[in-house]
């Protein structure tokens, strides 16, 4: 079974501490919609608390990946949407609980004016490739 290949710093590109610049993989594509800080009953987790929201979002991502036969090891790209860049340390901490440094995906972080509901502080979507 092949695993994604991570290229943290291509020649001529400054290295990144929190993500890989390039990730390549061959296999079945799994696209996970942006996950929000909602529990299995649709209730908000961590109102006003970016760390609690980030933990719930990454748990939701884990469950969605598992439903598709994937794990965080298969993730090649994460996109994080935050209402305030000050929430990124909480996102990084939650991500680190699921993705060790040797499996960092390509990533983007975008500050947005708002998410679908005002109490949501962040949303994260993922792309994974599962080797067949």
Query: Any idea what the CATH number is for the domain that residue 109 is in?
Result: 3.30.1330.40
How far, in Å, are 64, 100, 132 from residue 79 at the CA level?
A: 15, 17, 24
CA distance 25 to 21: 14
Are residues 44 and 38 in contact, defined by beta-carbon separation less than 8 angstroms?
A: yes
CA distance 49 to 51: 6
pTM: 0.93
Sign of CA dihedral 104, 17, 110, 23: negative
Q: What is the predicted pLDDT for the residue at 2?
A: 62
Q: How many domains does the chain divide into?
A: 1
DSSP class per residue in 43-54: -BSSTT-HHHHH
8-52 pLDDT, tens per residue?
A: 889 999 988 788 889 988 999 999 999 999 999 999 999 999 999
Domain range spanning residue 44? 5-9+17-130
Is residue 123 pLDDT above 50, yes or no?
yes
Which whole number is the average pLDDT over 88-109? Answer: 94
Cβ burial, residue 65 (10 Å; 0-12/13-18/19+)? buried
Tokens of 72: 């965080």
Is residue 1 pLDDT above 60, yes or no?
no
CA distance 72 to 14: 25
Q: Name the band, by pLDDT with cuts 50, 70 and 90, for residue 132.
A: confident
Q: Name the band, by pLDDT with cuts 50, 70 and 90, for residue 102.
A: confident
CA distance 105 to 112: 21
CA distance 10 to 70: 27
């Amino acid at each position: 079974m092949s695993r994604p290949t991570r290229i943290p710093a291509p020649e001529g590109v400054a290295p990144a501490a929190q993500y890989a610049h390039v990730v390549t993989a061959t296999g079945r594509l799994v696209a996970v919609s942006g996950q929000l800080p909602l529990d299995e009953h649709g209730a908000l987790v961590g109102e006003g608390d970016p760390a609690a929201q980030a933990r719930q979002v990454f748990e939701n991502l884990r469950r969605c990946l598992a439903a598709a036969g994937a794990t965080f090891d298969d993730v090649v790209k994460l996109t994080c949407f935050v209402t305030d860049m000050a929430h990124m340390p909480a996102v990084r901490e939650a991500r680190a609980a699921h993705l060790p440094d040797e499996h960092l995906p390509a990533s983007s972080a975008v500050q947005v004016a708002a998410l679908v509901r005002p109490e949501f502080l962040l949303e994260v979507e993922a792309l994974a490739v599962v080797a067949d």
